[in-house]
Amino acid sequence: MTIERKIREHLHEEAETMECPPAISKRIEQSYSHYLQRTRSEITMKKRLIGGIVAAAILIPTAAFAAPVVIDMFTRAPMNSEQVKLDEAGKATLEKLYLAIPETKSFEIMNVSYLGDPNDSTKKVQLSIVLQEKGGTGKKLTLHTNGITDEIQDLTQENWEPKEKPLNTLPDQEIKGKVDQLIDKLYGSIKDYEVAMEQMDNPDQKTFILNYTKKGSEGFEGGGYQVFVQGNSISLSPVAPEPNTGVEGYFSLNGKPDYTADSFLNDEKLFALLKMSPTELKEEIAKGKSVVEIAASKNISKQQVIDVIAKTQAERQLQDGKNKVTISDDLLKPMMKEVEPKVVHIIEHKTETEW
């Protein structure tokens, strides 16, 4: 569950063979940075979603491009419609979908692919399935499923409303009602959740973000759902509960808490390695020390710190915040290697410097 996130990406199948232009990636970074600064004091966004869903929703009307994410380091391999029906994760995904939205049983499976070892389809990190009404037009669904836990990481529903009256032209309450129904169908009742709906600064297309959080919880502390409504599509992703250490804002910016590093440093294994409580770590960081310096004072190497945090982040990414499952080194090690640069950036940072 890294800052750049939850895989849980939001790529359409067309994006699987496209490369995001550097200029687009830069615009995405800048736009989301501005958005996050405005909303940070109101609600702590789910950090692992930044790289996927947000990137697709902010600037690109068709969601054809998304900023690079950790999971893209694996090879994407194709599957056919018959293979996915026999695949364990694919079969479970389709069963969940057909039960939640019965009309999709008549949809054609247009595209299937998986991220993982192209020579061994049992080693999947993520399975992607695209379904559409017969004829190749009309209603469409794109799902991404965790290949290890079989949990649906995100779903994009397109063209469920008439073209002449797309979803984002409806009144706010009607949009919310459509999203409520979709969550109810896929994940169950949302009566214990409250929703914050906001229109995003997107000059290219009217876009809404809806954050569903547990009543009485701070941000996504108790889990929830994050949804983007753009054009005639709904992009939905469940959010696993954030680790609750009772401490937030390890770093500050302009005198205010900066939550950027919290999902990395709120790590029970890190606290055990440093033999410190979350509060003690925050107090030391507040003195202008980096995590690397704090570790060195305890004769703990920088690489030890990197390994502990990277492993936690890789496990969260692959397990998707759900039940603990055994992950092979073939999947875990490359994921850890990929996240290392982000870990280094966090643990070398000092609170008195700009990010």
Cα separation, 195 vs 201, in Å, equals 19
Cα separation, 3 vs 264, in Å, equals 8
Length of the chain: 355
Query: Rounded mean pLDDT of the chain?
Result: 76
Q: Tell whether the model's pLDDT for residue 261 goes beyond 80.
A: yes
- Tokens 């280094």 identify what position? 344
Residue pair 286/280 in contact by the 8 Å Cβ criterion: no
| % of the chain with per-residue pLDDT over 90 | 37
Band of residue 269 on the pLDDT scale cut at 50, 70, 90: very high
pLDDT, mean of residues 18-43: 43
Among 335, 341, 329, which Cα is nearest to 316's? 335
- Tokens 């003690």 identify what position? 280
Alpha carbon of residue 227 to chain centroid: 11
pLDDT, mean of residues 115-132: 78
Cα separation, 88 vs 324, in Å, equals 18
> Looking at residue 219, what is its pLDDT?
75
Q: How many CB atoms lie within 10 A of CB 323?
A: 8
Q: Tell whether the model's pLDDT for residue 70 goes beyond 60.
A: no
- Tokens 């003195």 identify what position? 287
Triad 304, 307, 310: Cα angle to 5°? 145
Q: How many CB atoms lie within 10 A of CB 288?
A: 11
Q: Give the full edge-to-edge strand order of the sheet including 75-79.
A: 75-79, 108-116, 124-132, 140-146, 152-158, 233-239, 224-230, 207-214, 193-199
